[in-house]
Chains A and B, each alone.
Chain A
Amino acid sequence: QQPVQSPQAVILREGEDAVINCSSSKALYSVHWYRQKHGEAPVFLMILLKGGEQKGHEKISASFNEKKQQSSLYLTASQLSYSGTYFCGTEGTSGTYKYIFGTGTRLKVLA
């Protein structure tokens, strides 16, 4: 089952904050976050692992609640360059490396 993201879309002014949520129906080992701009490939932002380890960009933070099978991406003091579609990615099946992406969240930052 594809992870469900919320909100589906959000519009911000520069400098405002946003939170994007990702919810899975299955137990997770790790969660990845990617940003995709129109017509471009997804670009890596962050990995969150069981046990709290994080790997990613300094200006972007995220949380991973293993019990609730949820992850949230926090975008603070948004910039115009943050505009794009954000996807979470998770393993589809335990014990394999099948990897599926969430439904996506469109973010637009206005000047």
Chain B
Amino acid sequence: DTGVSQDPRHKITKRGQNVTFRCDPISEHNRLYWYRQTLGQGPEFLTYFQNEAQLEKSRLLSDRFSAERPKGSFSTLEIQRTEQGDSAMYLCASIQGGWDTEAFFGQGTRLTVV
């Protein structure tokens, strides 16, 4: 078990372009979470999946953001028509079972929109 991995680690894109990030959770972890974190702030909830079902999505997640978790394995987060305000660290976490167990975080994808 190699932990949660995210790809890419860094992404620089021009405003208006689309970007897609990938998260590979720990195998057999049924829940997967996406967070956005800006400098000095706590991780901000974006969305989460239980297996392949997307159970909740933050109001902060505009229609430019979409996430999928096909077959309940890896997940992708896509941002369309990126804006400078999208620049942040995007973190993925996975967990097996309820919140009486530890969540494991990936290293994150740092997005810079220029």
Contacts and interface: CB of A to CB of B under 8 A. Distances in A.
Given A41-B105, A42-B105, A99 B99 contact: yes
Q: Chain B CB within 10 Å — which of A32, A85, A87, A101 has the most?
A: A101
B2 interface: no
Contacts, number: 67
Given A30-B100, A47-B102, A49-B100, A2 B48 contact: no
Contacts of A43: 105
A2 B100 CA distance: 20
Given A30-B100, A97-B99, A103 B42 contact: yes
A96 B4 CA distance: 23
Interface string A91-102: 111001111111
Interface string A80-111: 00000101010111001111111110100000
Interface in A23-68: 29-30, 32, 34, 40-44, 47, 49, 53, 55
Interface residues of B, number: 26
B42 A32 contact: no
Nearest to A40: B107
In this complex, the interface size class of chain A, counting residues with CB under 8 Å from chain B, is 20 to 34
Contacts of A99: 33, 45, 48, 99, 103
B100 A104 contact: no
Nearest to B35: A101
Contacts of A2: 42
Contact of B103 (A40, A44, A49, A85): A44
B56 A103 contact: no
Contact of A104 (B31, B41, B91, B102): B41
Contacts of A98: 45, 48, 55-56
Interface of A: 2, 29-30, 32, 34, 40-44, 47, 49, 53, 55, 85, 87, 89, 91-93, 96-104, 106
9 contacts: A29-B99, A34-B105, A47-B100, A53-B100, A97-B48, A97-B55, A98-B55, A99-B103, A101-B42
